Chains A and B, each alone.
Chain A
Amino acid sequence: MPGVYFTTTEFLDDAKSAAKDRGMPGIRMIALPADTYYRSRSTQAELQPIAAAVFDQMVDDLVRPLTADEAKPSQIQKQHENTNIKVTGSDYQDAYQNVNDLFLDSRWADGLPIVPPTPVLVKAMLAATTRSPDEVVGQVAPKNGTATVEKIAVNSVMAGAKPEYFPVILAAMDGFVDKHFDLTHVQASTGSFTPVVIVNGPLAKELNFNSGIGMLGHGWRANSTVGRALRLSLLNIGQTWPAVNDMALTGRFEAYTFFTFAEDEAKSPWEPYHVALGYKPEDSTVTVATSGNPLVLGGGAVAPWTAQGILDTVAARTSNVVFGWVHSQTYILVLHPDCAYELGKLGYTRKSLQAWLYEHTSIPYEKLLAATSGFGHASEIDEINQSIADGRIRPDRAQIFKNALKPGGKVPIVQSPDDFHIVVAGGSPGYSLLFSYPGPNWANETKKITGATLTKAGH
């Protein structure tokens, strides 16, 4: 079926890149002028001259016979990326600088200097895992670059990670490339989402991950370089670049190291997060998810707060917004230790807390009826019905939603209470955080850390 694709001048490179990635480089595209289209798109009257200006081109693109190359383009050839690179300098310092210039100018880095990934350093990184250098961990969106253990090691060296951290990085990459994780959306969306990386189990302590004051900030090598190794791996293996095929409009709030932290298991009144997911206490895990900027809850050191008040705020804020795609929603509620302690004292278990959140964030049917979707033209109710129909809301949960979509019903904002992930971390007195991701597909995976050779945990 012949077609033509409208985009804007801002997204033309991205559109061409995506078309090539999917094997159709010849798709005929028309780029609307971004400087006028976005300002005019609210009304048809304002769009009239823009549409009129491109109309003849659109017709021509639909009727103009194909060129030979459009009809049968030559097969896109594989670019070989496995050859080592030799960089010279007048002395070591000069060569080091030249490596950095090469990597930064070639868009193989995040804009900050890197540690040159020499074979010796990469070998040392690889020695930290029993996993084979040639093992294919998976394909990294959006270009489906092949992530081998060795490629991830190269990027981990560049990030300045200690070899001991490497099994954590590998497990996180296992999560990102999982077939259930929508990495394309996370990597490329205009929504500017930032991955969340949570480390649990004895390895978190052994590697000195920060789970207290400043857990999302600078200063801890494990948090910073594990996050940066993932940043560089996704950038280089998935081959993304801002404004080319990473269209995060504002950039990401933790662009260089992501939201990387550990749970403060010792200060939690409940079993560790990974144990609640079914792992053994002696296992170490890494959870990867994604989020917009987190909602900050509580008064910190300067204002009064109560634990119940924090829960009430979560309920008020999440049930008062357009939520779009209920089938894929997860929330990560990071409670600071004092808040978790107070909730424990109030008698909450992790399960009962999840149940409370599930119930109190549900939206009255009548309120939903009046809401329009945050995306497209369908109503929220249409969106949910569509998700039931196409199986995105799991069959075992579908009836709950069908029952709720009636007068007097209360419609959950997640598929099940387990989609509220409760983690304890942060300073004292603290702020709690709510990470959420309004994406159309799932983006939350936990993986066990295995194969560690340099640490007591993580085997």
Chain B
Amino acid sequence: MDILLSLGAGFLEVFQPMNMLVMFIGLVLGMLVAVLPGLTLVMGVVLALPFTYSMGLLPAIILLTSMYVSGTYGGAFTSILFRIPGEPIDVPLLWDGYTMARNGQPAKALGWTLFAALCGGLLSATVMVFLSHPVAKFALTLSSPEYFAILLFGMTSVVSLGGGSISNAFISLLLGLMLSTVGVDSIYGTERFAFGVPFLQDGIEYLLVMVGAYGLGEVFTRLEKGFKSDEKVGDSDGKIATEFPTLAEVGQLKGTFFRSSILGILVGIIPGAGATIASFVAYGAESQYGKRRKEMGTGIAEGIVAPQTAATSSVGGALIPLLTMGIPGSGATAIILGAFLLHGIQPGPQIFVSSGPMVYAIFASLFVSIIGMCILGYFAIKPLVKVLDLPEPVVSAFVVMFCFIGAFAARNNLSDLYVITAFGILGYLCEKLKFPIAPMVLGSILGPLAESSFMTMMISENNDWTVLVARPISATVMVMAVVSLVYPIHRQLRERRLTRRQTP
């Protein structure tokens, strides 16, 4: 009952004109970045960050979360209509969404997507509301070994779930962890790897790593591959409409909705996994266990509902570890964490005690954002797909500009521009040499938390690291961390052995 009352108060807060305005802007921007192939969702949220510096905390978080949620949906339009996935999240929509559109039912395909985003989003928001408080209470009972084990699990899961080879992902993660050690350490006050350079003595802000590697690095990569100059990518002049599925049709797919929502929430909760993995995993699960699994890929509704429901429901899941433990599990939630920290709030188990009303307002804003996103998606689809006509060189030039302003505005320090340019080049090299960027970014974010938990644990336990396997919770999480790292290697080695045996 307390939760519902607090949530009600949160809704009242969200309905303030200023909050509704930033939410609307966030929803539009999220859809735009999801539609534009040159801009990823994480890049979009990064670019929006500098605009939040002068805002209060709540409007800032509302802006970023509404961008995050609508970014998981906007790219569906171009995937279904033009076979252009704006985001990797939308790739599974090509298989059934685009096929359904080609089979003469584009409006129906769009209707299924909209309904899937609505259901998945609302269910995950509900789960988030009721799960966050107990998780925060549980997190209060944890001490440094458990925290370290959870952080380690987050880091190993980003290595095993992400793109690229596991070795490269592991190196990328370790590189991120090393970056976080630059500067003066928090326990002894010792200067590490700063080479006497003043701005390195302050440490390397993870936001600079993110803006550089995700923003500039991506632009440099696309520049090398050649921008699509002034050409129309899709025929956005055709008739575009959305046709909702009937209640009977929805009823037939209730299993798919439920299964994919739960999968999306669970994948969202796992640090390192995000909407893209949720989308692929849900499509894969539907292909294996769905009633019409043999028809997947031929343009059936299940192939649209599963990835879209899971992608949107992963948002609520990802916000749970962020708010209750201060652990961001994905790029977008890392930026939201950055916004919290810039406003002097540290998310974690104490947040319900220190900033309870604000947390419930964030919960409420997620519900309103999801509904707003669907209304916007229904009415504004035609102008939204028009942004595909924007020339990529122009968009990219402005992306670089916003990257620079975002980096500069955080500390009003011109040296930070050099740092993000260096990370832009590093991001480009990583992309070129097939080292995934996400583990490096997550390493630079989780590095200080992991080091501080590790040092606290070692100091309080007299350098006895076996405490990690001696305590039940930390031992369980450590086993999960090891399994998450070893299992994919074992599986692929087994597959290779089988292939070798079958090849004469």
Q: Are A and B subunits of one complex?
A: no
Which A residues lie at the B interface, using CB under 8 A?
none
